[in-house]
């Protein structure tokens, strides 16, 4: 990521700006697609101000929320301090392979979420492989995103293109998608069945 890009996110989150919050329908659909089991671990990549990560913890996941912006991590810690120890927060740039390898154990997460994040990542095939490496057998990667084709021209950069979707869905043994109120699509990709 460029320094300008990181500075932009720092300013965005330091100003208290987040993104569209997950509503009851979205959380219900998530629970149906990836129900937590006792001891289930979740990783929320690009946690922003932490509302989605806190919701995952509330659903029963032991959740680690990560973001590249220090301001987002600080805001999440402040807003959801009462959710500890079920919700942990740390600064981590998921696009930095060495940092991810040092901070996160392989095959450790039952659920990895990226809500309104993947479109901003440069190397989507590498991100997808990194997610596969971090998921436990039977784990799910849930990507919630706008589709570029449904957005006005000036905002298409915040959505996934058809090419991005092809990259996203390659090499997953199981996958499905559903739409949320016509504006967002949720992809649920699985590593395969549990042993």
**Residues sharing a CB contact under 8 Å with residue 32, sequence separation 6 or more, in sequence order:** none
For residue 56, pLDDT over 70 is answered with yes
Q: From CA 90, how far away is CA 103, in angstroms rounded?
A: 9
CB atoms within 10 A of CB 176: 11
**Could you tell me the CA-to-CA distances from 109 to 10, 32, 55, 100, 142 in Å, in that order?**
27, 18, 17, 13, 12
**What integer best gives the mean pLDDT of the chain?**
88
In this prediction the pTM is 0.89
What is the predicted pLDDT for the residue at 183?
Answer: 80
* Residues 9-50 pLDDT 10s: 556 455 664 566 778 888 999 999 999 999 999 999 999 999
For residue 126, pLDDT over 80 is answered with yes
Which domains occur in the chain, in start order? 3-190 (3.40.50.150)
Average pLDDT over residues 53-76: 95
Q: Which has the closest alpha carbon to 57: 73, 75, 81, 78?
A: 81
């Amino acid at each position: 990521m460029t320094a300008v890009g990181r500075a932009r996110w720092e300013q965005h989150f330091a100003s208290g700006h987040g993104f569209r919050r997950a509503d009851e329908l979205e959380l219900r659909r998530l629970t149906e697609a990836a129900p937590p089991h006792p001891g289930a671990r979740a990783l929320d990549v690009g946690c922003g101000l932490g509302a989605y990560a806190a919701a995952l913890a509330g659903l029963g996941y032991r959740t680690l929320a990560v973001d590249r912006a220090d301001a987002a991590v600080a805001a999440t810690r402040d807003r959801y301090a009462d959710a500890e120890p079920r919700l942990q927060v740390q600064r981590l740039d998921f696009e930095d392979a060495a940092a991810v390898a040092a901070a996160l154990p392989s095959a450790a997460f039952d659920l990895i979420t990226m809500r309104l994040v993947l479109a901003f990542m440069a190397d989507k095939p590498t991100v997808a492989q990194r997610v596969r490496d971090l998921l436990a057998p039977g784990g799910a990667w849930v990507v919630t995103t706008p589709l570029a084709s449904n957005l006005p021209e000036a905002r298409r950069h915040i959505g996934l293109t058809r090419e991005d979707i092809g990259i996203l869905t390659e090499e997953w043994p199981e996958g499905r998608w559903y739409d949320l109120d016509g504006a967002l699509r949720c992809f649920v990709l699985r590593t395969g069945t549990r042993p």
